[in-house]
Amino acid sequence: MEGIYQHFRKEEYAFIDQILDLAIQVEDEYTPRLTEFLDPRQRFIAETVVGGYDTMKTSFFGGSEFTERKRALIYPDYYTPEENDFKISLFHIRYPVKFTTLTHQKILGTLMSLGIRREAFGDILNQGEEWQFFVDQEMSHYVTSQLEKIGKVNVMLEEVALRDALIVQEEWEGQMITSSSLRLDGVLSNALHLSRQKAKQMIQAGLVKVNWKVVENPDFECEEADILSARGYGRIKLIQIHGRTKKDKIRMDIGFLK
């Protein structure tokens, strides 16, 4: 499996090692192993790594079929996964709706302030004034005992069945752009109609993420299926990278999250 590294970026090697360790445990002990919540890029890596083994498979679940962040279950090929194997709890946030509003950022910040690693909880769902979030089942008691306020707002957590999760589906609006290279600053400037210098400044200021991780290097090479996000501009997905135009520009299909 050593050859697997050549297909990925150096900063992803540590995560590849984590998945390889789990795969070895499954192979040696012939029992399933569960990851924390993974973003789509991590899921792609996990699926690629496990795909190199003939005797095991991987399945993903984040609490509902519409979630972005999902846990991976790596298991022997004889095993049939069930929903309970993913050990996910869902909490509905009860709060005084008439007197305050909650935001994704406030909820995320509060959970992180409790000392919970981002990988221990999944999507934060919103539909109108309703808010929910998924969390590792093993963290459920700690969360309910510690989370009493979000900002200055008193809240109460109600654990609900996964089948009662809010349905939140992402919609992407497609567009075709060209760029002289796959450098992050070039792709960003063309996608957002910014000057190259402005895009470079945003990246160096830590305002840009690639696959949910801050990237401060404008030279960073983008790849197909990458998710870019720039603060204040939303998310961009590199759907497909095509060949070059007659003017030697790279054509690519991108999507903007609505």
Q: Classify burial at 131, counting beta carbons within 10 Å of its beta carbon; exposed 0-12, middle 13-18, buried 19 or more.
A: buried
SS3 145: helix
- The confidence score (pLDDT) of residue 32 equals 97
Q: How confident is the model at residue 3 (pLDDT cuts 50, 70, 90)?
A: confident
Q: What pLDDT, in 10s, does the model give residues 206-221?
A: 999 999 889 999 999 9
* 172-257 matches 88-164 in CATH topology: no
Q: Residue 119's closest CA among 215, 42, 19?
A: 42
CATH class of 172-257: alpha beta
Beta bridge partners of 147: none
Tokens standing for 96? 């005084």
Q: C-alpha distances in angstroms, 3 versus 6, 158, 221?
A: 6, 47, 21
Q: What pLDDT, in 10s, does the model give residues 5-53?
A: 888 888 999 999 999 999 999 999 999 999 999 999 999 999 999 999 9
Q: How confident is the model at residue 225 (pLDDT cuts 50, 70, 90)?
A: confident
Q: What pLDDT, in 10s, does the model give residues 42-78?
A: 999 999 999 999 999 999 999 998 899 999 999 999 9
Provide the whole-model pTM. Answer: 0.84
Strand order in the sheet with 250-257: 172-179, 250-257, 234-244, 227-230, 208-210, 213-214
Cα 189–chain centre separation: 23
* Contact partners, residue 211, CB within 8 Å, separation at least 6: 39, 40, 41, 226, 227
Work out the average pLDDT over 221-250.
92
> Around Cβ 63, how many Cβ atoms within 10 Å?
26
- The confidence score (pLDDT) of residue 4 equals 83
Sign of the alpha-carbon torsion through 59, 61, 65, 67 = negative
Sign of the alpha-carbon torsion through 2, 25, 135, 84 = positive
CATH number of 88-164: 3.30.70.330
Burial 218-257 (b: 16+ CB within 10 A, else e): bebebeeebbbbbeebebbbbbebeeeeeeeebebebbbe
Tokens standing for 77? 């090929």
Cα–Cα distance measured from residue 248 to residue 243, given in angstroms and rounded to the nearest whole number = 9
DSSP 8-state secondary structure symbol assigned to residue 144: H
Sign of the alpha-carbon torsion through 215, 239, 178, 244 = positive
Taking phi over 0 as left and psi of -120 to 50 as alpha, with beta for the rest, 114 belongs to alpha
Domain ranges, ordered by start, for the chain: 2-85, 88-164, 172-257
- The confidence score (pLDDT) of residue 1 equals 60
CATH class of 2-85: alpha beta
- The confidence score (pLDDT) of residue 155 equals 95
Q: How confident is the model at residue 126 (pLDDT cuts 50, 70, 90)?
A: very high
Cα–Cα distance measured from residue 212 to residue 106, given in angstroms and rounded to the nearest whole number = 18
